[in-house]
Structure 1
Amino acid sequence: MESVSISLLTICGIEELPDHAERKVTHILSILDPERPDPETFGAYTPHERTVLRFHDIIEDRPGMEMPRRDHVEKVLAFGEELAKSCDLREDGHLLVHCHMGVSRSTASMVMLMAQAQPEVSEDDLFKRLAVIRPQAWPNSVMIAYADELLGRDGRFTEALRRHYGRQIERDPYFVTWMTELGRAREVDMAVSS
């Protein structure tokens, strides 16, 4: 995200947040379950800008749970637009995106922010960069589908996600069990070999 004066990108889960308190984070995108209290850890961080979104990490409707919606993804992209507008006001920046485990909602958000900031970069390259930032990345497919449309990627983002899932399963076959147990078998079925 060099185009918006962000030189450091971090993705993590809630339990990892204390590890980043001394890293001069300038911008935070927090994605929390609706019922989860705000992490107290941010009180130890240097002054920063923070946006909070609340929805569950699911890909199919479940009673009592809030699906990722189009307006959630619009808010992620609005966060990215504000980040781009503020680039002249700072020399450098450190963006941290987190969700509960730093695996799905946060990685979907980070890759869409990267795609927004660098529209010339191919979808496959974006997912490969994402895996370098967060090796366990398994982006939420519902969020990526909305981003695919909103960013005008014409299905290419979703197709690249399928290849990313395939690479992740090749790298660590446990993803099949893990995601299936979490009710994400449809994403496992989406995976294609790269």
Structure 2
Amino acid sequence: MQSLAISTLTICGIEELPAHSLRRVTHVLSVLDPDWPEIDAFGTFGEHTRVTLRFHDIIDPAPGKIPPEPEHVAQILRFGEGLREGVGERVEGHLLVHCHMGISRSTAAMLMLMAQNDPEASEDALFERLRTVRPQAWPNSVMIGFADAQLGRGGRLTQALRRHYGRQLQTEPRYTDWMTRLGRGRELEMAV
């Protein structure tokens, strides 16, 4: 099992960030709403490389909202290439990927980074690994669809996402109500 040339992987939400300040985080991928202010917690982290992307956690167009776009996914994958290229410069690393809640955009980003780094891994194995990093993962389906295309996975990531959603609904039935209230009914319909 490959690990992005990083020894520790963490996914979290904004409120959890202070708890990671002493964990020797070396790389951070922040996925934030466009109008969210800069996060003060990073001032307490040690030296690290950080990339910030700004778009909303939506799956359908909405007035005044910026949806995930193919370019956002391309930026995440470029970040992943940088992790691979820098492997010779570090003994170990700790990648922290976060969004507002640590459930949708961040888990989609981590899944695509794992898929990029381990192209031979089965899609279901990647989602299983994602659940070990963040058990409550509900990756944004639009982001996964773009990653599926950009990584040349031929729809297999999206099919595995459908199975992942089904599994999550069995383990966390509250997601049905939650995703409905968030306007993510299409993702609930995807679940198998």
TM-score (norm 1): 0.97
Question: 1:3, 1:84 within 8 Å by CA — same for their partners in 2?
Answer: no
Report the CA distance shift for 1:4/1:137 in structure 2 as closer, same or farther (over 3 A).
closer
Structure 1 position 150 matched with structure 2 position 150:
yes
Name the SS for the 2:28 alignment partner.
strand
Question: 1:12, 1:97 within 8 Å by CA — same for their partners in 2?
Answer: yes
Q: Name the residue aligned to 1:159.
A: 159
Q: Distance in 2 between matches of 1:109 and 1:177?
A: 24
Q: Distance in 1 between matches of 2:60 and 2:4?
A: 34
Structure 1 position 172 matched with structure 2 position 172:
yes
Q: Name the residue aligned to 2:54.
A: 54
TM-score (norm 2): 0.98
Question: 1:29, 1:50 within 8 Å by CA — same for their partners in 2?
Answer: yes
1:116-127 maps to which residues of 2 (within 5 A)?
A: 116-127=116-127
Question: 1:145, 1:157 within 8 Å by CA — same for their partners in 2?
Answer: yes
Name the SS for the 1:29 alignment partner.
strand
Letter of the 1:130 counterpart: L
CA offset at residue 26 of structure 1?
Answer: 0.2
Q: Distance in 1 between matches of 2:67 and 2:158?
A: 18
Q: Name the residue aligned to 2:181.
A: 181
1:1-194 maps to which residues of 2 (within 5 A)?
A: 2=2, 4-192=4-192
Q: Distance in 1 between matches of 2:2 and 2:98?
A: 20
Provide runs of 4+ in structure 1 moved above 3 Å: 1-4
CA offset at residue 172 of structure 1?
Answer: 1.0
Letter of the 1:90 counterpart: R
Report the CA distance shift for 1:4/1:124 in structure 2 as closer, same or farther (over 3 A).
closer
Question: 1:34, 1:54 within 8 Å by CA — same for their partners in 2?
Answer: yes
Q: CA offsets, 1:166-191, max 9 Å, x none?
A: 00000011111000100000000000
Question: 2:68, 2:143 within 8 Å by CA — same for their partners in 1?
Answer: yes
Equivalent pairs, count: 192
Question: 1:30, 1:99 within 8 Å by CA — same for their partners in 2?
Answer: yes
Report the CA distance shift for 1:168/1:94 in structure 2 as closer, same or farther (over 3 A).
same
Q: Distance in 2 between matches of 1:66 and 1:79?
A: 21
CA offset at residue 2 of structure 1?
Answer: 3.9
- Cα RMSD for the two superposed structures: 0.9
Letter of the 2:94 counterpart: H
Name the SS for the 2:91 alignment partner.
coil
Letter of the 2:117 counterpart: A
Question: 2:4, 2:113 within 8 Å by CA — same for their partners in 1?
Answer: no
